Amino acid sequence: MADRTIPLYYPTMATRFPISLYSTANPVHQEVFYTVPRAGHMIGDVDHHIRRQHFPGHELIYCLKGNGWARIEGSTHRVNPGELVWINCHHPHEHGAAAKDPWEVLWVRVEGPRLEQMCTMLSAGADPVFTVPDLKATYEEIFALLASGAPESAPLLHAAVARLLCLICCARHQGTDTEANVPTPVRRAVERMKLFYFEPHNVEGLAAVAGMSPSHFSRAFKAAFGTSPIDWLRRERISQAKRRLGDTADPIQWIAEVVGYRDRFFFSKDFKKLTGLTPTQFREREFRERGQA
């Protein structure tokens, strides 16, 4: 049976929409591009309030003036000027204007590949508010592309949304300091893995380097990097192997050992899992591209 849940929405006569845009994407475009079915510029009234159980897409709401709030995963978050709130509309959520100083916002509702995974990677459910440099020009570019309806607008819109998502990711992971969100103890363990990626490592040993318990270290590492310490180490080893496969004629067995794998079969299996190619296929492709085949 189709879901008939009606979202609660309290617009008032004082809530204004200087820009209100709708778009219906080509199904082929939906398979490969980010699409924006709804976007606009809103000047909210004190009673502006939306509550939904679920709804298509992800809303990225950027506060220009005033204040607003969002309730996600049972917690209420204040949204100030210069802040963006990421709302995964597939889950229960509410948002609205603050009573004393109602917000003015730019917003887009985005659909597309891997948004759910990106939302999880950024911990946008538990921490949905991002402090981002001025995004007005980025939103205005998206609005202009939606309004144009030109044949080339779909890939251009995809690129504009990707830039917006990139700015959001950088705000979460970098801020003003590229390592600001990596706790110093975790950074010590990362530096150890970068320098000695070829040595055997486990969570217990890395946690000891960080001076943390294994469980605390694993949680802190995943919060900072979006993955486990051992998975991070695997990818570092494979990156080192790629460089050697592409730049040298060294035997694959030797490369496997140099980057930390004691078993060539396991190395080849891991390499293909992370790259889609065997080490031999990767090397052949790299040599062909350089005209060295």
State pLDDT tens for residues 29-80: 888 999 999 999 999 988 889 999 989 999 999 999 999 999 998 899 999 9
> CA neighbours within 13 Å on the CB side: how many for 19?
18
Please tell me whether the overall predicted TM-score, pTM, comes out greater than 0.95 for this model: no
Give the tens place of pLDDT for each residue, 229-269: 999 999 999 999 999 998 899 999 999 999 999 999 999 99
Please indicate, yes or no, if residue 179 is contained in any of the structural domains.
Answer: no
Structural domain of 32 = 8-173
CATH of the domain at 24: 2.60.120.280
* Class of residue 255 by CB neighbours under 10 A (exposed 0-12, middle 13-18, buried 19+): buried
Can you give the pLDDT at residue 4?
A: 42
Q: Is residue 1, in this structure, part of any structural domain at all?
A: no
How many residues make up the chain in this entry? Answer: 293
Both 158 and 257 in a single domain?
no
Helix (H) or strand (E) holding 284, with range, is: helix 279-289
Distance of CA 137 to the CA centre of its chain: 20
Same-domain status, 191 and 149: no
Burial class of residue 268, CB neighbours in 10 A (0-12, 13-18, 19+):
middle
Residue whose pair of structure tokens reads 């778009």 in the numeric block: 23
